[in-house]
Chains A and B, each alone.
Chain A
Amino acid sequence: MSAERTDARGALRAAERTGAELRLEGLTVGYGGAPVLRGVDVRVPAGTIVALLGANGAGKTTLLRTVSGLLPAASGRIVFDGVDLAGVSVEDRARAGLAQVPEGRSVVAELTVDENLRLGGLQRFRGRRLTAAVDGIYGMFEPLARRRRAAGHQLSGGERQMLALGRAIIAEPRVLLLDEPSLGLAPRVVAQIMAVLRGLRDERGLTVLLAEQNVTSALAVADHGVVLNLGEVVADRPAEDLRTDSALRHAYLGF
């Protein structure tokens, strides 16, 4: 058992930093009573953006937290770049390149913008390379560059989301999990964030699993859409179909 785990870790570490495939197979989460997720299968091919859609309470956050290891799965497999993540800790998943931007822009309020970014990058870079990586994020999000010394709790909602995203991508992850990045943000900021995601996919081949209630914005960047309802996958279609086919959209997304 422990030997297997070491192997899994080694395989994860050796991999190169391009997008990786993420596969969920028959994932069930929750004990006793009704499980929150029931036998969910989702495939996020390397270098694509998959939108995870569904109403509040459909199980989107649970799914993301299970993938990052914060919640244990009752059954099913989470396969990251061909490696089963069972028994791999949250920290090791992160170090292997599985980055999560949790719901609510969880910027560390007591740390400055600069420190938040360095924290995101220091498992991968040290010293001058870390500073360069931080500067790279500032280049991507100019408003942050002006607030380097500000503490997390002084930032606006948009700035926080930029910081949370910047902190997640600074270590060049292979798969990025995003939980409702558009929540409560101005359309202009949402568009900027979606543009960044598109750019990361196109330039670096980053794999993105994007949980959203804002269906329009999500489908605008996504390659594929997965609809969750009460813990089960009810639709798994190319984003194009969900965007254009109003009957389909009405059936699964209610508009």
Chain B
Amino acid sequence: MDRLLFLLATGLARGAIFALFALALVLIWRAARVVNFAQGAMAVVAVYVAFAVTGLTGSYWIGLASALVAGGLMGLVVERGVMRFASHASPLSGVIIAIGVVMVLQSALGIAFGSNTRPMEAPFSESPIVIGGVPVLSPYDLFVLILAVGLMGVLALLFTRTSLGLQLRASAFAPEVSRLLGVRVTRMVTAGWVLASAVGALAALLLVPTELGLNPHSADMLFVSAFTVAVVGGLDSPPGALIGGLAVGVLISLVTGYLGATVAPIAVLVLLVAVLLVRPGGLFATTEARTA
């Protein structure tokens, strides 16, 4: 019972990270109708930057800020540099180019820094707080939960309450009409990429200390989990990303806790296939896809 509570709590913290990363996928999907398969590799580049900056300055927080900046820059460079050349006539070319970006970024990191895994320290303790004799949640997990949920709240406000958010949404839903109204749609697509990539970078930065450490492939599994989250929640639905993220996080935590870590990828695959066969639009597609 104690173990269940602990697994649930860490699952929520892990799920909040998945949700953030999935949100990044959703943002780009809505802005450009591309599933950004390069999201993980782009985020890892930003985490390497944060790692270097933290190493130089000694401050986790400056590192965190630099990860956000580096993530945003990655979004800018990838969108303007290569994704813009994807054919609009074919949905496949975006995916293929994104795969190319993955290969370039991961191999470039491998050449520059080697494939060794570097341990990365969390800014807070990772041993669980014990409440009434029951280990519940580590301070770091709590920090992750608060930061992730807080950031999602800020993003929700940005999208629903500001004119930038209104233009971002309009460009995603109806690019031609938006242009006719004077909205600079291509800039909005770029803004979507920048925003999403910064969010994805933050998610990866939060995850790495809880895993083995940093290497060029650190975010592969994060991408896979977040893709599943995005599919479970519906690629068009930011609230779906949050709920789906928490659900997948808890599921993986329980499977890992009771059945072992090797089973986790299979559980993800089974969940993904099951959702796609039963509700291809995502579990929340009809109820919430049209909001926010």
Determine direct contact between A and B, CB below 8 Å.
Answer: yes
Interface residues of A (CB under 8 A from B): 68, 70, 90-92, 94-95, 99-100, 102, 106, 108-111, 115, 118-120, 122-123, 126, 151, 153, 167, 171
Q: Mark B218-252, 1 if CB is under 8 A from A, else 0.
A: 00000000000000000000000000000000000
Contact A68 B181, beta carbon cutoff 8 Å: no
Residues of B contacting A111 in the complex (Cβ-Cβ under 8 angstroms):
166, 169-170, 173
Residues of B within 8 A of A (CB): 163, 166-167, 169-170, 173-174, 176-185, 290
Complex A-B, nearest 5 residue pairs according to Cβ-Cβ distance, in ascending order = A94-B182, A123-B182, A95-B182, A90-B179, A110-B173
CB–CB B182/A108 < 8 A: no
Q: How far is the CB of A248 from chain B (nearest CB, A)?
A: 34
**CB nearest to A167 among chain B residues:** B181
30 residue pairs from A and B, CB less than 8 Å apart: A68-B180, A90-B179, A91-B182, A91-B183, A91-B184, A92-B182, A94-B179, A94-B180, A94-B181, A94-B182, A100-B180, A102-B180, A106-B174, A106-B176, A106-B177, A108-B170, A108-B173, A108-B174, A108-B177, A108-B178, A109-B174, A110-B290, A115-B166, A115-B169, A119-B170, A119-B181, A123-B183, A167-B181, A171-B181, A171-B182
Q: Give the nearest-CB partner of A177 in chain B.
A: B180
CA of A153 to CA of B179, assembled, Å: 20
Q: How far is the CA of A79 from the CA of B290 in the complex (A)?
A: 40
Question: Taking A110-B290, A122-B163 as contacts, is the C-beta distance between A90 and B170 under 8 angstroms?
Answer: no
Please, which residues of chain A bring their CB within 8 A of the CB of B179? 70, 90-91, 94
List the A side residues contacting B181 at CB < 8 Å: 94, 119-120, 123, 167, 171
Bound form: Cα–Cα A167–B174 in Å: 14
Q: Are A119 and B176 in contact (CB under 8 A)?
A: no
Chain A residues near B167 (CB-CB < 8 A):
119, 122
A119–B173 CB distance below 8 A: no
12 more contacts with CB within 8 A, not counting A109-B173, A118-B163, A119-B170, are A68-B180, A70-B179, A90-B179, A91-B185, A94-B182, A100-B180, A108-B173, A108-B178, A109-B174, A119-B181, A119-B183, A122-B166
Q: Which residue of A lies closest to B179 (CB)?
A: A90
Chain B interface mostly helix, strand, loop or mixed? helix
Measured between C-beta atoms, what is the minimum distance from B251 to chain A in Å? 30
Kindly list chain A residues whose C-beta atoms are within 8 Å of the C-beta of B177. Answer: 102, 106, 108
CB distance from A6 to the nearest CB of B (A): 16
Residues of the A chain whose Cβ atoms lie less than 8 Å from the Cβ of B174: 106, 108-109
- Give Cα distance in the complex from A111 to B170, angstroms: 8
Nearest chain-B residue to A127 (Cβ)?
Answer: B163
| Most chain B CB atoms below 10 A, which of A95, A108, A109, A126 | A108
Which residue of chain B lies nearest to A121 when distances are taken between CB atoms in the complex? Answer: B181
Give Cα distance in the complex from A115 to B182, angstroms.
Answer: 15
Closest CB-CB distance, A72 to chain B, in whole Å? 14
**Cα distance, A151 to B174, chains bound together (Å):** 14
Q: Which residue of A lies closest to B177 (CB)?
A: A106
Whether A119 lies near B178 (C-beta < 8 A) is: yes
Which of A99, A123, A126 gathers most chain B CB within 10 Å? Answer: A123
B239 to chain A, nearest CB (A): 14
Q: Which residues of B contact A95 (CB under 8 A)?
A: 182
- When distances are taken between beta carbons in the complex, the residues of chain B under 8 Å from A70 are 176, 179-180
Residues of A within 8 A of B290 (CB): 110, 151, 153
- Tell me the minimal C-beta distance from B26 to chain A in angstroms: 14
A110 near B180 with CB under 8 A, answer: no
**Residue of B at shortest CB range from A164?**
B177
CB distance from A111 to the nearest CB of B (A): 6
Q: Closest CB-CB distance, A88 to chain B, in whole Å?
A: 12
- Bound-complex Cα distance A103 to B176 (A): 12
Complex Cα distance, B183 from A167, in Å, reads 13
Query: Bound complex: CA of A126 vs CA of B162, how far in Å?
Result: 11
Q: Which residues of A contact B163 (CB under 8 A)?
A: 118, 122, 126
Q: Shortest CB–CB separation between residue B31 and chain A, in angstroms? A: 13
A68 to B180, CA, bound (A): 7
